[in-house]
Amino acid sequence: MKYIIAIIQPDRLGDVLEELQKREIHLVTVSNVMGRGRQKGIAEVYRSHTEAGSLLRKVKLEIAVNAEFVQPTVEAITSRARTGRIGDGKIFVLDLDRCIRIRTGEEGNDAIG
């Protein structure tokens, strides 16, 4: 089991969710986050005061998958979140020790999805 965390541009979220759905990856948690990388943000201007904008708005996806779904998930995200411009984001793939479905108490591979 793997735990996939993807940080993407907020405007790509709809496309990525659609692609995940197509590949039958249903379990996904989405949150609004702020972050920074090498990318320079869009400066905001308030009454002539320019905010450099050190943190940028991003969307974080968290997806738990069984081994055979890791590659489809990564492909789904990269194919739809990639614009080729700096700031497209990152995907992190982590080992997942346990997974428990709260409703039934099922554990492991059965509990995902």
Partner 1 sequence: MSVMSRISGTYRPAVLAMILVLCLGGVSLARDAITSGPGSQEPAATQADTGDTAWVLISAALVMLMTPGLAFFYGGLVRRKNMLSVLMQCFMILCLISLQWVLCGYSLAFGPDVGGRGIIGGLDWLGLRGVGAQPNATYAGTVPHSAFMVFQMMFAVITPALIIGAFAERMRFSAFCVFSLLWATLVYDPLAHWVWGQGGFMGLLGGWGALDFAGGTVVHINAGASALAAALVLRKRQGYPNMISPPHNLPLAVLGAAMLWFGWFGFNAGSALGASGLASGAFVATHIAGATAGLVWAAMDWFFHKRPTTLGVITGAVAGLVAVTPAAGFVTPIGAVLIGIGAAAFPWLAVTFLKPRMGYDDSLDAFGVHGIGGIWGAIATGLFACASVNPAVNRNGLFYGPDGAAQLLTQLKAVGISAAFSFVACLILLKVVDAVIGLRVSEHEERVGLDLTQHKEVAYTIID
In the complex, the residues that contact partner 1 under the rule CB under 8 A are 44-52
- Whose Cβ is closer to partner 1: residue 43's or residue 102's? 43
- Whose Cβ is closer to partner 1: residue 34's or residue 67's? 34
State the nearest-atom distance from the C-beta of 53 to partner 1, in Å: 9
State the nearest-atom distance from the C-beta of 97 to partner 1, in Å: 27
Please say whether the dihedral angle defined by the alpha carbons of residues 12, 56, 34 and 2, taken in this order, is positive or negative: positive
- Cα-Cα-Cα-Cα torsion 69, 2, 17, 84, nearest 10 degrees, comes to -90
State the nearest-atom distance from the C-beta of 36 to partner 1, in Å: 15
- Whose Cβ is closer to partner 1: residue 2's or residue 57's? 57
Residue holding tokens 């998930």?
Answer: 73
Q: What share of the chain is helix, strand, coil (3-state, %, to 5)?
A: 30, 35, 35
